Chain A
Amino acid sequence: MAIDKETVKYVAHLARIELEPEELEKLSRQLHDILGFIDKLSALDVQQVKPASHILPISNVLREDKPHTCLTPEQALENAPGKSGNFFSVPKIIE
């Protein structure tokens, strides 16, 4: 399956990464090659095979619903590039 520049541009938008025109050009070419290599997988018949989303035979891991200590607001905000009171601050969302 081929991947064109328009697709890469759209996917980069989904991934919230701004690409320079040269980056888009280079990346489209590289992804095209990588996907060409990955297309090897289409040679296999996997209709009857179950997907391995998890490799261990464990499921539904639950814990008791008990209170425990967690980060204080000050600790959680320690590394924030922008904060205001007890909140992370970001550029305005609603005009």
Chain B
Amino acid sequence: MDLNQLTAHELLDKIKSGETSAKNILASLYSRIQRIEPKLKAYARVKADNKPDFIPQESGLLSGLPITVKDNICTKGLNTECCSKILGNFRPPYDATVINKLKTAGASIFPLKANMDEFAFGSSTENSFFGPTHNPWNLECVPGGSSGGSAAAVAGDEAIWALGSDTGGSIRQPASFCGVVGLKPTYGRVSRFGLIAFASSLDQIGPITKDVEDAAILTRIISGYDPNDSTSVNQDVPDYTVSLGKDIKGLKIGIPKEYFVEGMDPEVKSGIEEAINKLKSLGAVSNPVSLPHTQYAVPVYYIIATAEASSNLARFDGVQYGYRAKSESLIDMYKKTRAEGFGEEAKRRIILGTFALSHGYYDAYYLRALKVRTLIKNDFDAVFRDFDCIVTPTSPTSAFKIGERAADPLKMYLSDIYTISVNLAGIPAISIPCGFTKEGLPIGLQIMAKPFNEEMLFKIAHAFEQNTEWHKIKPRI
């Protein structure tokens, strides 16, 4: 195997034993990128001859190991544009807290940023100003989104590991579509300082990796309290690798009946059922549970997330950074800048969110959505009183074709039906590979746990992974 195909923990072992170096790893990534990036387009702004002048600092715990970062996380001096025209050529004057933490741990920040749906608005990475990313398992399919570039880069061995962000499933759904591991940590676990905000009550940064051990290592590095993010929680960060290799005998798994209804691909259904049987054969006990307000999660999300987005994106007005349209008057300059700078989905969400917050509609939409959010959270609290975790599919289908859902926003929104509740409830969840469809597309298993119990996720996910072979199968590109 080439170096770029290995996991971070395998590479760290090799660096420690003197078998290789961060420089060699980087060279192997570049040669892979030169070969397959024209097909995959996992990175934003990359050109065939684009090999940035960059030498890793081989230091610290991570010994200079490169990490790929989504285009909405601020990296000092490196373009960070949320794959939007309106942030064209924006180079942040500071690093996000997660980037600082990674640098302190000795990581090299890979100078190419991962492609994404503009401002993380989407479930397919088709909404990027730089064009869509392709799924490494089938180039005609989407990689999922919005962190589709991060997931495709990891699955296609164009990255060792990556950071994504998850507001309604944007780490877990692309991880599922690309056959890799993706974790959305508990709300408040990871600082969002320097993450360009989409919906502040939902956004979390998290890892996209080739296996569970890498996810455990990366989560520990990026987690923790940050005075620059008042929503980050001052709670100790455990060594998540301690949760690996543990017995799951007697663990209580809840299977929510509301997730196994119409709209689910039968192949996904049987893949998940097999995975549940696997967990049972490892000693876990499963029982049906109910999350009665599940059907309201998507409508609640598209009120709350768009309302918050409409407010967060007000800052993109052509004054402080990015694109500015030519105009003689200020208001007209704002309107033209935003008309020309934002893509279609961004405009749709900003206008929907502005509507939900506007006078006369606030109570009927926004306030009502916040109340239903309470009901959704209460559903989870009730189940977690009796169960250690909840297991579901990550997505009702495997990766769909590029263009298939682009014309119908509502159909696209329903792609996130199994991931959205997790963000609304603030709980952590992980997606791991658990099989393939007949056409060879990956299926993802989602595991959810109580707030700040990422350890439970790593424990179960690792037990499953170590007793299956799914994570070892690589796409042929």
CA distance A45 to B146 in the complex (A): 33
| Chain B positions 366 through 379: 1 when the CB is less than 8 Å from some CB of chain A, otherwise 0 | 01111111110100
Interface of B is mostly: helix
| B299 & A38 in contact (Cβ 8 Å cutoff) | yes
* Beta-carbon contact of B93 and A56 below 8 Å: no
Highest count of chain B CB atoms <10 Å: which of A14, A31, A38: A38
Q: Is B322 among interface residues, defined by CB-CB distance under 8 A? A: yes
Beta-carbon contact of A11 and B329 below 8 Å: no
- Asked if B410 contacts A33 (CB within 8 A), the reply is yes
User: Does B409 reach chain A (CB closer than 8 Å)?
Assistant: yes
Q: In the complex the two chains form, what is the Cα distance from A37 to B409 in whole Å?
A: 12
Which residues of chain A are within 8 angstroms of B451 by Cβ–Cβ distance? 56
* A27 contacts B324, C-beta separation under 8 Å: no
| Residue in A closest to B88 when the chains form the complex, CB atoms | A81
Instruction: Identify A27's interface contact among B318, B348, B358, CB under 8 A.
Output: B348
Contact A56 B231 (CB under 8 A): yes
Spot the interface stretch: B242-250, B274-282, B336-344, B391-399: B336-344
Contact stretch, chosen from B156-164, B170-178, B211-219, B349-357: B349-357
List of A residues within 8 angstroms of B261 by Cβ: none
Which B residues touch A30, using CB under 8 A?
348, 409-410
Q: Mark B307-327, 1 if CB is under 8 A from A, else 0.
A: 000100010011111111001
CB atoms of B375 and A49 under 8 A apart:
yes
Convert A18-35 into 0s and 1s, putting 1 for each residue whose CB lies closer than 8 angstroms to a CB of B. Answer: 111001000100110110
**A15-B351 contact, Cβ under 8 Å, with A34-B409, A49-B371, A79-B321:** yes
A31–B296 touching, CB < 8 Å: no
Is B302 interfacial (CB-CB < 8 Å)?
yes
* Interface membership of chain B positions 269-312, coded 1 if the CB is closer than 8 angstroms to chain A and 0 otherwise: 00000000000000000000000000110111011000000100
Q: Tell me whether B371 and A46 are in contact (CB under 8 A).
A: yes
Instruction: Report if B233 contacts A (CB, 8 A).
Output: yes
Q: Contacts A17-B335, A91-B327 given: A41-B299 contact, CB under 8 Å?
A: yes
Question: Nearest-CB distance from A5 to chain B (Å)?
Answer: 12
A-B contacts, CB under 8 A, total: 164
Q: Are A37 and B233 in contact (CB under 8 A)?
A: no
Measured CA separation A63–B194 after assembly (Å): 19
Interface string of A28-58 (1 = CB under 8 A from B): 0011011001111110101001111111101
Interface of A is mostly: loop
Chain A nearest Cβ from B70, distance in angstroms: 19
Total contacting residues, chain B, CB less than 8 A:
70
A16-B334, A81-B318, A91-B329 given; A40·B324 CB < 8 A: no
* B350 and A41 form a contact (CB under 8 A): no
Docked complex: B182-223 residues within 8 A CB-CB of A: 187-188, 201
Please determine whether A31 and B352 come into contact, CB atoms closer than 8 angstroms. Answer: yes
Residues of A within 8 A of B94 (CB): 71
Does B91 interact with chain A (Cβ within 8 Å)?
A: yes
In the complex, the answer to whether B329 meets A55 with C-beta atoms within 8 Å is no
Chain B residues contacting A49 (CB-CB under 8 Å) are 371-372, 374-375
Complex contact A82–B324 (CB within 8 A): yes
CB-CB under 8 A from A75, the residues of chain B are 93
Minimal Cβ-Cβ distance residue in A for B234: A58
Tell me the minimal C-beta distance from A55 to chain B in angstroms.
4
**What residues of chain B lie closer than 8 Å to A82, measured between beta carbons?**
319, 324
Interface centre among B314, B327, B339, B409 (most CB of A within 10 A): B339
Q: In the complex, are the beta carbons of A78 and B374 less than 8 A apart? A: no
Q: Which residues of A contact B310 (CB under 8 A)?
A: 15
B354 and A41: CB pair below 8 A?
Answer: no
A50 to B333, CA, bound (A): 41
- For residues 70 through 91 of chain A, which have their beta carbon under 8 Å from a beta carbon of chain B? 71, 75-76, 78-82, 88, 90-91
CB pairs A–B below 8 angstroms (14 shown): A3-B355, A17-B342, A33-B410, A34-B302, A38-B299, A41-B296, A49-B371, A50-B374, A51-B374, A54-B231, A55-B426, A58-B188, A75-B93, A91-B329
Q: Would you list the 6 A-B pairs with minimal beta carbon distance, nearest first?
A: A51-B370, A55-B426, A79-B321, A81-B324, A46-B371, A18-B339
- Residues on A lying within 8 angstroms of B by beta carbon are 1, 3, 7-8, 11-20, 23, 27, 30-31, 33-34, 37-42, 44, 46, 49-56, 58, 61, 63, 71, 75-76, 78-82, 88, 90-93
Given contacts A30-B409, A34-B302, 9 further A-B contacts (CB under 8 A): A16-B317, A16-B335, A16-B338, A31-B352, A34-B410, A44-B372, A46-B375, A54-B231, A90-B333
